[in-house]
């Protein structure tokens, strides 16, 4: 049976879609077969982030309304074996799909895939309920901001209430310079507050913007720090036990002096 | 440079500590998954029963239901703070 993982956050703009695209791509690079599902009906974006926007024929609503089978609607990534996209519909709204539809859709995909990643829309309404309906695991994405962490906490509560027990945290867009200065919540601060296990920490990285511009997930080229972070997340999903990536940045002299004085206060 | 010097002499806590404290406070409220109406009913019932035994300070009576998360499961706790004016009820 394929493992179904929902990637969610509550707040928008924290990098759910980017994370889904990169974790999915990284899993495929590890030799797994992966379906990524965009469940953000009306505001689809996973297709552009993956660079597959020109190949869409059918979408998720075509499947749930019976126009075509789930497998027929999948778009195969020609650049990478094992990666498939089920795009969201752009011209419908979220009410076009129900949680029951999602459960059936995942069942129809069968068990020939190792992982099914569901990219959840922002919010806690219908789109969220659809996205989590078929999931057995969840990855909550947050950034080191009060609004994102607060929403993540709410989402974790809702996931637990829906009997999803395996919930892991990704802290995204960390600006290490600011963390080291004491001006941004650290990974430890966030795991302290949310009380769930961390599965990865991704630095704020220009390489993500550049690769997204080109329609290529950043993990395609493994040299950037963010790519390494996403690949580590994928490995941890498969059960590998790898230490957390060191994303700290070298501090200049003044920063070090400041830190010493801050600590003594 | 001026900024650095300013920071050097400031006594203010780092902004991330402010963020953390604010978050912890707001989450206590967010996590109480109880409607105010239910809380009020529980509160008035507790008050009624306790008043038969002791003289309680109704003004400072405070109850709250919080949810604490412990790796994978969460449990709710009712926390009540009920100051007593006199131990024996005056009849």
Pick from A101, A124, A80: which is nearest to A37 by CA? A101
Domain span holding position B45:
31-91
| Domain presence at residue B5 | no
Which strand (E) or helix (H) includes residue A212?
A: helix A206-213
Contact assignment for B16 to A197 by CB distance below 8 Å? no
Residue B83 in domain: yes
Give CA–CA dist A113/A3, Å, rounded: 8
- Closest chain A residue to the Cα of B69, Cα to Cα: A195
pLDDT surpassing 50 at residue A22: yes
pLDDT-derived band at A265, boundaries 50, 70, 90: very low
Nearest-by-Cβ selection for B70 from A150, A195, A254: A195
- For A181-231, write each residue's pLDDT tens digit: 999 999 999 999 999 999 999 999 999 999 999 999 999 999 999 999 999
Structural domains of chain B, count: 1
pLDDT of the residue at A170: 98
Q: Which CATH architecture has domain A3-264?
A: 3-Layer(aba) Sandwich (3.40)
Mutate to test the interface with A, among B9, B12, B14 (most CBs of A within 10 A): B14
Greater model confidence, B37 or A232 = A232
Burial (CB count within 10 angstroms: exposed 0-12, middle 13-18, buried 19+), residue A55: middle
Q: What is the mean pLDDT of residues A30-36?
A: 98
A-chain residues within 8 Å CB-CB of B27?
Answer: 150, 153, 193
How far apart, in whole angstroms, are the C-alpha atoms of residue A171 and residue A15? 10
Q: Is residue B35 part of a domain?
A: yes
Asked if residue B72 is part of any domain, the answer here is yes
The candidate with the shortest Cα–Cα distance to A132, out of A154, A153, A163, is: A163
**Other beta carbons less than 10 A from residue B74's beta carbon:** 16
Mean pLDDT of A251-263: 66
* B interface test, pick of A138, A143, A146 with most B CB neighbours within 10 Å: A146
B76 touches chain A (CB under 8 A): no
Q: Which element (helix H / strand E) includes A123?
A: none
Cβ–Cβ gap B8/A261 under 8 Å: yes
The answer to whether A9 and A140 have CB atoms below 8 angstroms apart is: yes
B17 within a domain of the structure (yes/no): no
Across chain A, what does the average pLDDT equal? 94
pLDDT band at A264 (very low <50, low <70, confident <90, very high): very low
Tokens 């498939």 map to which residue?
A: A84
* B21 close to A (CB below 8 A): no
DSSP letters, B8-37, are HH--PPPHHHHHHHHHHHHHHHHH--S-HH
> Strands B84-86 and A3-8, how do they pair?
unpaired
Cβ separation A165–B73 shorter than 8 A: yes
């Amino acid at each position: 049976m394929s493992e179904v993982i929902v990637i969610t956050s509550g707040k928008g703009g924290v990098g759910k879609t980017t994370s889904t695209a990169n974790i999915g791509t990284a899993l495929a690079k590890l030799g797994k077969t992966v379906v990524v599902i965009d469940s953000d009906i009306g505001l689809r974006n996973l297709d552009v982030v993956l660079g597959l926007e020109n190949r869409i024929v059918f979408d998720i609503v075509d499947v749930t309304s019976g126009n075509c089978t789930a497998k027929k609607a999948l778009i195969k990534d020609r650049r990478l074996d094992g990666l498939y996209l089920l795009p969201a519909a752009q011209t419908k709204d979220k009410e076009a799909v129900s949680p029951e539809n999602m459960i059936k859709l995942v069942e129809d995909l069968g068990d020939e895939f190792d992982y099914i990643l569901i990219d959840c829309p922002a919010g806690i309404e219908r789109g969220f309920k659809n996205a989590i309906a078929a999931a057995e695991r969840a990855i909550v994405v947050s950034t080191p901001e009060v609004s994102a962490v607060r929403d993540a906490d709410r989402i974790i509560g809702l996931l637990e209430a829906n009997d999803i027990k395996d919930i892991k945290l990704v802290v995204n867009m960390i600006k290490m310079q600011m963390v080291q200065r004491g001006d941004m919540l650290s990974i430890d601060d966030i795991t302290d507050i949310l009380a769930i296990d961390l599965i990865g920490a991704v630095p704020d990285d220009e390489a993500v913007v550049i690769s997204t511009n080109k329609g290529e997930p950043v993990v395609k080229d493994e040299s950037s720090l963010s790519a390494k972070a996403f690949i580590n997340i994928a490995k941890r999903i498969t059960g590998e036990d790898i230490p957390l990536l060191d994303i700290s940045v070298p501090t200049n002299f003044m920063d070090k002096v400041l830190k010493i004085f801050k600590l003594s206060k | 440079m001026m900024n650095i010097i300013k920071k050097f002499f400031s006594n203010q806590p780092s902004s991330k500590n402010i963020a953390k404290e604010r978050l912890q406070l707001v989450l206590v409220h967010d996590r109480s998954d109880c409607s105010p109406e239910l809380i009020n009913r529980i509160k008035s019932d507790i008050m009624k029963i306790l008043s038969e035994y002791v003289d309680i300070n109704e003004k400072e009576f405070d109850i709250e239901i919080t949810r604490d998360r412990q790796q994978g499961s969460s449990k709710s706790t009712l926390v009540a703070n009920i100051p007593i004016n006199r131990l024996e009820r005056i009849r």
